[in-house]
Amino acid sequence: MSAVPTCAASAGGPAHRAPAEAPERVLIIACGALAREIVELCRLNRWSAFEVTCLPPELHNRPERIPAAVQAAIDAHRAHHRRIFVAYGDCGTGGRLDALLEAQGIERLPGAHCYEMFATARAFAALCEEEPGTFYLTDFLLRHFDRLVTRGLGLDRHPQLAAEYFRHYRRLVYLAQSPDAAASERARAVAASLGLAYQFRLTGYGDLTETLARVHGGRRTLAWVR
């Protein structure tokens, strides 16, 4: 488990004014794949109430381990945080994550996974209906494709496995949050290497912004800036 610096923003006022009441602290237990986006939203919106701790994104290769890892993080921090929010979707846990969170009164991100959250539920449903055999990339997964997919699935040692892993896929959709100029070309190259058609969708931060704004208790001001 790795800690991300507190999402804090200084807000000074005139000396003769009493300071506004500080919002209640909220610990976010986040998937490491969302760390950059969460910290950036905190910075843009001056959400000072959040503290963030991250779990390894490699857990997505073994989703059955996510509930236990989240529970361990809850247990480690519960004594010091009355409010905890979990920045995971179901993420392939088959409802097991929901069961442990509901028993403790802890909320998580809406949706099945970050692809749905970034695209928004309606848009993601349309993508799935259009082509069920779609492999999705986000900014994070694109940046770490070699580590999490190529090496994570052993394709560097056994490249012949790619045909088996991806045999049911027909296209790759890059759901971009705030891509750099070369990101789309890198995603296109990944699609070509897998023999998949390519599509680019600029999603921004999708439902992540509104959800965190509500949890923080403040009005959303900025979603993403490039």
The pLDDT of residue 221 is above 80: no
pLDDT at 23: 65
Instruction: Give the list of residues 6+ apart from residue 17 with CB closer than 8 angstroms, or none.
Output: none
The pLDDT of residue 87 is above 80: yes
- Residue 184, classified by CB atoms within 10 Å of its CB into exposed (0-12), middle (13-18) or buried (19+), is middle
Rounded to the nearest integer, the mean pLDDT of the chain is: 88
Q: How many CB atoms lie within 10 A of CB 76?
A: 12
Q: What is the mean pLDDT of residues 163-188?
A: 93
pLDDT at 9: 37
The pLDDT of residue 135 is above 90: yes
Q: How distant, in Å, are the alpha carbons of 112, 123, 185 from that of 119? A: 12, 6, 20
pLDDT in tens, 11-66: 333 434 445 555 689 999 999 999 999 999 999 999 999 999 999 999 988 999 99
DSSP E strands: which ranges in 32-143? 50-55, 83-87, 107-108, 134-137
Q: What is the mean pLDDT of residues 85-89?
A: 97
pTM over 0.85: no
Q: What is the mean pLDDT of residues 123-137?
A: 97
Amino acid, res. 157: R
79: number of CA atoms within 13 Å, CB side?
3
> pLDDT band for position 109 (50/70/90)?
very high
> Which among 188, 183, 207 is positioned nearest to 198, based on CA atoms?
188
Pairing of strands 134-137, 107-108: unpaired
> Which among 64, 56, 65 is positioned nearest to 35, based on CA atoms?
56
Instruction: Identify the structural domains of the chain with CATH numbers, from first to last.
Output: 2-9+23-111+207-216 (3.40.50), 121-202 (no CATH)
215 phi and psi angles, rounded to 5 deg: -65, -40
- Residue 3, classified by CB atoms within 10 Å of its CB into exposed (0-12), middle (13-18) or buried (19+), is exposed
**Contact status, residue 57 vs residue 142, Cβ threshold 8 Å:** no
